[in-house]
């Protein structure tokens, strides 16, 4: 495989590799290094590239494994420091109260929704049912489910925005 073919194949999903690395390694610099390492490994395997059914899936797996190995390695001592900087061990009373308040507001807003929207929102976003399961449970068409869900989310979002922006000019 020539360099241009390789680049045409790999460049479309390069950003996905970086985002996965960033999520696992936290540090932008470490994520850039990991992405570059994976791309180099892919280039070293370019003669076998046509054997892979899905090069993107293969690259994502390589990225995940590389990042996890990096976190486990001896070189990861500085990464542990970075990860510890992101931890929030001081879970303050203020944050707990704000979180409970937000949940209470969402519950109040959901109670005001039309019954169908309330049910769809509850089943999809809180109970994590699939659209197919909701379709069976509520005997609704997929389009109607999506419309009800969209309207419910929009109403909740608008009312929460009004609540949080109250008094702000």
pLDDT tens-digit series, residues 88-110? 545 678 878 877 888 888 888 88
In a domain, 26, yes or no: yes
* pLDDT confidence of residue 32: 92
* pLDDT confidence of residue 166: 65
pLDDT tens-digit series, residues 67-79? 888 887 755 555 5
- 97 and 80 in one domain? no
**Domain end marker among 86, 120, 146:** 86
- 36 and 15 in one domain? yes
Structural domain that includes position 131: 93-164
In a domain, 169, yes or no: no
In a domain, 142, yes or no: yes
* Structural domains counted in the chain: 2
pLDDT tens-digit series, residues 108-150? 888 899 989 988 998 898 888 899 988 988 889 999 999 999 9
DSSP 83-151: HHHH------HHHHHHHHHHHHHHHHHHHHS-HHHHHHHIIIIIS---HHHHHHHHT--HHHHHHHHHH
- 102 and 76 in one domain? no
Euclidean distance between CA atoms 67 and 36, whole angstroms? 12
CATH number at residue 119: 1.10.10.10
Residue with tokens 């109040």: 108
Residue range 2-9: mean pLDDT, rounded? 84
* pLDDT confidence of residue 91: 61
* pLDDT confidence of residue 169: 46
pLDDT tens-digit series, residues 11-57? 888 988 898 888 888 788 888 999 999 999 988 888 887 788 888 88
* pLDDT confidence of residue 77: 57
- 109 and 53 in one domain? no
């Amino acid at each position: 495989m020539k360099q241009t073919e390789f680049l045409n194949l790999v460049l479309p999903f390069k950003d996905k590799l970086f985002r996965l690395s960033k999520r696992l390694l936290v540090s932008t610099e470490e994520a850039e290094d990991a992405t570059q390492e994976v791309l180099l490994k892919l280039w070293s395997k370019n003669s076998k590239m046509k054997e892979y059914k899905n090069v993107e899936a293969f690259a994502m797996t390589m990225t995940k494994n590389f990042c996890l190995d990096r976190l486990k390695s001896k070189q990861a001592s500085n990464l542990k420091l970075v990860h510890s900087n992101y931890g929030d061990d001081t879970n303050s009373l203020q944050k707990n109260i704000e979180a409970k308040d937000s949940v209470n507001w969402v519950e109040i807003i959901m109670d005001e929704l039309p019954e169908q929207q309330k049910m769809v929102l509850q089943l999809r976003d809180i109970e994590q049912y699939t659209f197919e399961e909701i379709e069976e449970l509520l005997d609704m068409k997929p389009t109607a489910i999506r419309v009800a869900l969209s309207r419910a989310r929009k109403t909740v979002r608008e009312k929460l925005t009004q609540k949080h922006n109250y008094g702000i000019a």
